[in-house]
Structure 1
């Protein structure tokens, strides 16, 4: 009886230990370079209105597929992007691995609006994609945006 209980305790302990290092490392990493980065959710479609934070959250969770009766398309940055990780952490409070798991379940169920991942994180590539997708929505740091885009929402880190 104690052998089975000890094995369960041991397995749970291993699981906790295996999950701990990423959380500890992320808590101790120097993020001063990424602190204070403000993101903008934007489009080249001027018919899209300014959006609330809750609406943007629903869009990036895949729960909203239309704005003003127009189907929307999302573009996403590559997996290795610090901006992508910071954006989802700030907007949804989720890590990239949590977002990938969430989106995998959406894809499996056939529900949700999943973003298209672009080939690189350059603002010119994002703008080219938006030109080819008139109902496209993207995000980027505010400092990287040209003046002619339609800013739908500004995401600022919460203090």
Structure 2
């Protein structure tokens, strides 16, 4: 079908096809479901206070490592989870590749620690990790949280 096109023509053709292809009903529903999702930064440690957005941003950038004189540990989802991409985009305006590069440079320079990545991206695994790490902090969609967690910050989607 694309025989004889040079690379530039091929890319332009693909772009036109992708722009002009109508969305299926399922794709439209998925987009609608993703809009308006709120995230909570939370802990099981009730000694941690509510945090401002700027403080949460500093924590996830690796610039704040202690709260109330206690070292904190972050848990993170795997890169294949859409929640992780949405969270970092909403909080820091960064893509996953930008965050991975940023964190790698922090770890390489010795100025920061990488969050612990859990293998299962479900709330039960996050809660298990938090129980084993009393000064742990995590994030998840608000709708997935149990009532007994200490919500430190709520990240609302931008409109």
1:90 Cα deviation from its structure 2 partner: 0.2
Counterpart of 1:90 in structure 2 is 90
Query: Any stretches of 5+ residues in structure 1 without a counterpart?
Result: 1-13
Counterpart of 2:39 in structure 1 is 39
1:112 Cα deviation from its structure 2 partner: 1.7
Q: Is the 8 A contact 1:74 1:136 kept in 2?
A: yes
Residues 69-108 of structure 1 show CA distances to partners (whole Å, capped at 9, x for unaligned) of: 0000000001100000000000000000100110110111
Counterpart of 1:73 in structure 2 is 73
- Equivalents in 1 of 2:96, 2:53: separation in Å? 19
- Equivalents in 1 of 2:34, 2:91: separation in Å? 15
Is 1:49 the counterpart of 2:57 in the alignment? Answer: no
- Equivalents in 1 of 2:106, 2:90: separation in Å? 21
Counterpart of 1:120 in structure 2 is 120
Q: Is the 8 A contact 1:63 1:113 kept in 2?
A: no
Q: What TM-score, normalized by structure 2, do the two folds share?
A: 0.81
Q: Is the 8 A contact 1:64 1:112 kept in 2?
A: no
List, as ranges, runs of 4+ consecutive aligned residues in structure 1 with deviation greater than 6 Å: none
Residues 1-60 of structure 1 show CA distances to partners (whole Å, capped at 9, x for unaligned) of: xxxxxxxxxxxxx9xx8xxx8xx99xx996333110100000000000000000000000
**Aligned pairs, how many?**
137
Is 1:158 the counterpart of 2:150 in the alignment? Answer: no
Q: What TM-score, normalized by structure 1, do the two folds share?
A: 0.81
1:111 Cα deviation from its structure 2 partner: 0.8
CA RMSD of aligned residues (A): 2.0
Q: Please give the secondary structure, in 2, of the residue aligned with 1:33.
A: helix
Q: Please give the secondary structure, in 2, of the residue aligned with 1:42.
A: strand
Counterpart of 2:64 in structure 1 is 64
Counterpart of 1:11 in structure 2 is none
